[in-house]
Chains A and B, each alone.
Chain A
Amino acid sequence: AQSVTQLDSQVPVFEEAPVELRCNYSSSVSVYLFWYVQYPNQGLQLLLKYLSGSTLVESINGFEAEFNKSQTSFHLRKPSVHISDTAEYFCAVSHTGFQKLVFGTGTRLLVSP
C-alpha cells in the first residue's frame, strides 16, 4: 500500500525568504507524484507533477520539486515566497497506471511580511 508523509503541519516564513515543504512516500511500485495547493475556502489545484523524465519539475509561479527515488522524497521548494503563497499544500502519490490519489495530511504555509 502507498502512503505519504508530510512531517510539517505548519511552516511559518517571512516574505522573500526561501521555503522547503517536505514530502516522503512509501510504495513498492513505480509512482507518480503530485503537489496540490489549496487557497482558503477553495478546492485543490494542481501545482506540479512528476510522471517520468527529469526529476526536477517546476510550476509557473516559481515552485519546484525534485523526485529522489533513493530517499523516496518529493520536497517542494521556492527560493523567495510571497504573501500570496499562503495556503495549504498537499503532496499526493498514485501508482503508475492508476488514477486513485493518496494524499498526505497537508502543510500550511504561513507567509508574513
Chain B
Amino acid sequence: NAGVTQTPKFQVLKTGQSMTLQCAQDMNHEYMSWYRQDPGMGLRLIHYSVGAGITDQGEVPNGYNVSRSTTEDFPLRLLSAAPSQTSVYFCATSPGRAPFVETQYFGPGTRLLVL
C-alpha cells in the first residue's frame, strides 16, 4: 500500500512549456485535491475532485487543468508554465464518504521551478 504518490519529485521548466504533474493513490479514496505551497502563504487549493468524472476549481485555478478519469489518478496540467507557478505542489486525498470530513492524506510533493 503506497498511499499517495507524486511524480516527478523535482522539475525545471522554461516559461511557456507544458507539463503534467502526476498523482496516484491506492486507497480507493473518492476525494482528491491539488494544493500549491508558497512561502508565507500556506497551502492554497488549486483544483479538487469528489469522484471519477467530477472536478471543480479551488482558490487558485488559473493556468492549471485537471481531469479525473479513474478513482486512482488525478493529474495536474500546466498548459503554459509561468515563473509565478514556481512552487511546491501537493496532492491530497480523503475517503470522501459520509460524514464527508476526514483526514486528508498528503503526497510527498513536487518541487517545480519555472525559469
Contact = CB atoms under 8 A, between A and B. Distances in A.
B101 A104 contact: no
A46 interface: yes
B61 interface: no
A3 B102 CA distance: 19
Interface residues of A, number: 25
Contacts of A97: 99-101
B40 A9 contact: yes
Interface in B19-67: 31, 33, 35, 40-45, 48, 50, 58
Contacts of A106: 42
Interface stretch (A12-20, A37-45, A62-70, A72-80): A37-45
A51 interface: yes
B42 A99 contact: no
Nearest to B43: A103
Interface in A7-55: 9, 32, 36, 42-46, 49, 51
Contacts of A32: 101
B27 to A, nearest CB: 14
B107 A43 contact: yes
A110 interface: no
A99 B108 contact: no
Given A104-B42, A105-B40, A43 B101 contact: no
Given A43-B90, A43-B107, A99-B96, A94 B43 contact: no
* 10 nearest A-B residue pairs (beta carbon): A43-B106, A105-B42, A103-B42, A103-B43, A44-B106, A46-B103, A43-B108, A99-B31, A32-B101, A106-B42
Interface of B: 4, 31, 33, 35, 40-45, 48, 50, 58, 90, 92, 94, 96, 99-104, 106-109
